Structure 1
Amino acid sequence: MSPPAAARPAVARMRRTRWQLTVLITAISTVCLIVLGLVAAVIDARSRDRVVDEAISRVATGVAGSITLDTDEVLDLTDVKSYDLANGETAVLVVSKSADGTWTEAFGHLRSWLPGKEVAAGIVDDAILAEDSVFRDGTDSQGRSVRLVAQPLFWEDSEVEVVVFAGTNPQTFGPERALLIWSLVIGGLLLVLCSALAAYWLSGRSMRQVIVLLDEQEKFLGDAAHELRTPLSTLRLVTAPRHRNPHEIDRALHEAHGLGDRMERIVSGLLARARMQSGLAEPERVQLLLDQLTESVIEGFGPANILVETVPCVVIGDPGLLGLAIRNLVENAITHGAVNRGAPVEVHVADGRVSVRDHGPGLNPQVSSNPFDRGVSAGRGSGIGLALVAWIADLHGGSAGMEPAAGGGTIATLTLPRPPA
């Protein structure tokens, strides 16, 4: 009996290949998703930074526009205190340079969201030096990340210098970015899982036909070994080196020639079977005399003790395949009827039916329920021969059966449909 599919080396290699393809496709998908996730995170971060910069710059510009300088060069922050943008969700700080050159805070809103005085003083100097808005990433007084802008403000014919700070709410974008990152991570893991499942399913589906072809190949090799074993053994005996007279040499050559023809027919039949099962060929459909085909097959057994009774009958089928089926039935009868050497194998042909009876021990209980299944054997063969008979019968729309014979032994039958009138 052949090993189960999972235990065969070829199938095991295909399974390993399937897992390797799954891992490879999953790895490629993972790398691609990681790259896409990083790109998405970078683009989102830049987009958020741009939006934040525009928002705080708008607040700083608005606050700077609401600051006025009176005739005594004193800052007037009346409009700033009533300005909506200066009292909204954005932190605002207005610092001015005193006469002694130090910077003092003139107005503050949500001051805890902005850096301390020392850090703010350094940013003020940068803004004054640049004479333009300066954006910075920093931390507020509580150590939280904050984005801020410092915009300088000058007046003509005045030495008063003012810098307006505007900073984001440190709690505004942190949770949103965390939500985006977690969404990318969880979504990426789900996509990787889906990719792995799809790769495993698709690779298995694509290899299914390959496994079927491997099964057919192994069956072909097993059937070929089974069918060629007997003629090869006989050929070895016929051609064994020994002293022979010319008559024996001629007979040995004749037998060797016959065995070569027989092996050629066997190989041709097995190749035809393999081609038909793979869909590359169709069985031949010709009218033939089943009785004459049977008699020609029996002649190939030489001096074996075989009795043949035939009634002329016509069937439609493939001569090579039907001849192979009849030969297998007769060989099975000779093999299992060897316990009674004196009893002949009886072959009867009539009405599209070939019956082969042996006088052996009868059906073995081990195979009585399924004698034509591939791999089932009573112990004297591989069980392939009868499986071929069943396959050929089914291919021709017929049937194969085996039953106990009255008085001992078994009767194996090959039944073919009769052609239309």
Structure 2
Amino acid sequence: MRRVRPGGAGALTPAARVLRLRRRISLLFALTSAVGLIVMAVLAVRGDSGRWREQLDHTMDADTSWALGLLETDEHGRLVLDVLADSVDTACPPLTVLLVDGDDKGALTVEHAPTKPCLAVDRGVVLEAGRAAVRADGVRALDGRTTGGDPVRVFAQPFYAPEAADDAAPQGVLVTVSDASAQRDAHRRLVWRVTVGCAVLVLLSAAVGHVLSGRAVRPALAALDRQEAFLADAAHDLRTPAASLRTLAETALRGETDGADVHRRTLRLAEGMGRLVDGLLTRARLMSGTAAVARQPLRLDQLVEAVVEEAPAAGHRVRVETVAAIVVADPDLVRRAVGNLLDNALTHGHAPGVPADVLVTVGGDGTLTVEDAGPGLPPEVAGALFERFRSGSGSTGLGLSIASWVAHAHGGSLTAERSAAGGARFVLRLPTTG
């Protein structure tokens, strides 16, 4: 059998598990957004990196191609650079002519180099670019740095001897250098903006994901709250009839009551418990939105008289003053609300050891008033009297909360104030036919 460690994942409450699921959904949403944004950012940065290099390479390719047209050879096939030196300012951009030394493609000699170039690059960088072009038998470009550490782009284009065969090796290489500082700075600014933008978007997506996940789990949390409320209300309403059944059974076992009377009282209690369960289920369905209030014309005065007659007085005094009043309401729900108000008055509306004196009044405007002569409303609960689990005498306080819910479900109200006798006075108002 699987063991659950105290405080572990298995010990979490249902609400805590739903909230943990919300955090996981938010994290997954943020991670998904982050991965997508990072991929797009990497593609954008790499694209920009290749773009500015291609632009520089295209410019240097045009320069070297034009310079190739100025190369001449004498009658002995030797390279003549006079025209190139006279026609091209080889100092800026610096243009270096390398010749292949024999059949060794890695052996290059400098045939011409600017004396005072605008970009001072180490000769090893120039030779490296030239060797790469000779080995590849085509143009090559690479990144480099000046002797001062500034970024440059080095471009090498091979050239061939006049009337050389198609498969002949290059005679030499033209190498030029271009300043890449502006392009590199612009690229770094782009990387910085993309990084900051991605971070902001990831945080924004995390916030949006948290809000959306909160909306997604809100129905589950509401359902859990309704479930807890239903269980608490069921325990509250069934506690009294269950205790009565136990007392009745103990009395019957002692032989103090006639058997037929015990059966009749047991049947009444069972019927009452069945009505309570039906009422609780109805309330749960109403709160979950799966059922509607069964509104119909109802004689409030007759319903109140029936509730008072069925209530166990147990030595208490209950007076009823009614006039004919027709309200539009659900009979079962109103019966439960009236019963809870009366039970609250009989339980809390008197001093210990003194019978309760309760006055129940029904007005023609659909108003029900329940007054007692007890100690009144405790100040510490007066502001939250109709909230669940609030009471001034140690009870759960669900009875008043259910009565208040019934009143508001019908578009009415339930208020509490001090009575003329110093006790509590509850006023239930329901909509009438008029």
**TM-score class, shorter:** 0.7 to 0.9
Selected match of 2:96 from 86, 93, 99: 93
Q: Which moved more, 1:160-169 or 1:219-228?
A: 160-169
Indicate the RMSD between aligned Cα atoms, in angstroms. 3.5
The 3 A distance-change label for structure 1 pair 55 and 328 is same
2:126/2:154 contact within 8 Å kept:
no
1:150-161 correspondence to structure 2 within 5 Å: 150-156=157-163, 161=171
Provide the residue aligned with 2:3 in structure 1.
none
CA deviation after TM superposition for structure 1 residue 318, in Å: 0.8
The 3 A distance-change label for structure 1 pair 147 and 228 is farther
2:141/2:153 contact within 8 Å kept:
no
Code of the aligned partner of 2:160: L
The 3 A distance-change label for structure 1 pair 85 and 208 is farther
Q: Which runs of 4+ in 1 moved over 6 A?
A: 157-160
Partners in 1 of 2:319 and 2:381 — Cα distance?
Answer: 26
CA deviation after TM superposition for structure 1 residue 239, in Å: 2.8
Partners in 2 of 1:126 and 1:365 — Cα distance?
Answer: 93
Q: Which moved more, 1:163-172 or 1:130-139?
A: 130-139
Provide the residue aligned with 1:19 in structure 2.
23
Provide the residue aligned with 1:324 in structure 2.
336
Selected match of 2:405 from 391, 402, 420: 391
1:372/1:387 contact within 8 Å kept:
yes
Aligned length: 410
Matching of residue 53 in structure 1 with residue 66 in structure 2 = no
What whole-Å deviation, never above 9, does each CA across 1:79-116 have from its counterpart, x for those lacking one? 4235458565x3311134689x9734324373754441
1:309/1:349 contact within 8 Å kept:
yes
CA deviation after TM superposition for structure 1 residue 323, in Å: 0.3
Provide the residue aligned with 1:348 in structure 2.
361
Partners in 2 of 1:285 and 1:42 — Cα distance?
Answer: 69
Code of the aligned partner of 1:105: E
Provide the residue aligned with 1:358 in structure 2.
372
Provide the residue aligned with 1:43 in structure 2.
47
Code of the aligned partner of 1:156: E
1:289/1:315 contact within 8 Å kept:
yes
Provide the residue aligned with 2:7 in structure 1.
none
Matching of residue 195 in structure 1 with residue 205 in structure 2 = yes
Selected match of 1:206 from 216, 225, 236: 216
2:403/2:414 contact within 8 Å kept:
yes
The 3 A distance-change label for structure 1 pair 221 and 32 is same
CA deviation after TM superposition for structure 1 residue 56, in Å: 2.3
2:130/2:156 contact within 8 Å kept:
no
1:159-238 correspondence to structure 2 within 5 Å: 161-238=171-248
Provide the residue aligned with 2:155 in structure 1.
148
SS in 2 for 1:230: helix
Code of the aligned partner of 1:175: D
Provide the residue aligned with 2:5 in structure 1.
none
Provide the residue aligned with 1:4 in structure 2.
none
CA deviation after TM superposition for structure 1 residue 49, in Å: 3.5
What whole-Å deviation, never above 9, does each CA across 1:289-323 have from its counterpart, x for those lacking one? 22221232223324534344444432221100110
TM-score by length of 1: 0.82
The 3 A distance-change label for structure 1 pair 55 and 248 is farther
What whole-Å deviation, never above 9, does each CA across 1:235-293 have from its counterpart, x for those lacking one? 22223486354963333332222222222222222332332233322211212222221
Partners in 2 of 1:176 and 1:123 — Cα distance?
Answer: 25
The 3 A distance-change label for structure 1 pair 238 and 169 is same
Partners in 2 of 1:156 and 1:405 — Cα distance?
Answer: 122
Partners in 2 of 1:128 and 1:312 — Cα distance?
Answer: 113
The 3 A distance-change label for structure 1 pair 276 and 82 is farther
Matching of residue 259 in structure 1 with residue 265 in structure 2 = no
Provide the residue aligned with 1:5 in structure 2.
none
Provide the residue aligned with 1:276 in structure 2.
286
1:140/1:146 contact within 8 Å kept:
no
Partners in 2 of 1:132 and 1:41 — Cα distance?
Answer: 28
Provide the residue aligned with 2:392 in structure 1.
378
The 3 A distance-change label for structure 1 pair 63 and 322 is same
SS in 2 for 1:280: coil
The 3 A distance-change label for structure 1 pair 23 and 74 is same
Partners in 1 of 2:130 and 2:412 — Cα distance?
Answer: 101
Provide the residue aligned with 2:258 in structure 1.
248
Partners in 1 of 2:122 and 2:178 — Cα distance?
Answer: 12
1:91/1:167 contact within 8 Å kept:
yes
2:412/2:429 contact within 8 Å kept:
yes
Provide the residue aligned with 2:70 in structure 1.
66
SS in 2 for 1:156: coil
Code of the aligned partner of 1:413: V
Selected match of 1:293 from 291, 297, 303: 303
SS in 2 for 1:66: coil
Provide the residue aligned with 2:111 in structure 1.
105
1:347/1:356 contact within 8 Å kept:
yes
Partners in 2 of 1:290 and 1:223 — Cα distance?
Answer: 24
Q: Which moved more, 1:409-418 or 1:184-193?
A: 409-418
Report % sequence identity. 31
Partners in 2 of 1:192 and 1:68 — Cα distance?
Answer: 61
1:98/1:104 contact within 8 Å kept:
no
Matching of residue 402 in structure 1 with residue 416 in structure 2 = yes
Code of the aligned partner of 1:337: G
SS in 1 for 2:292: coil
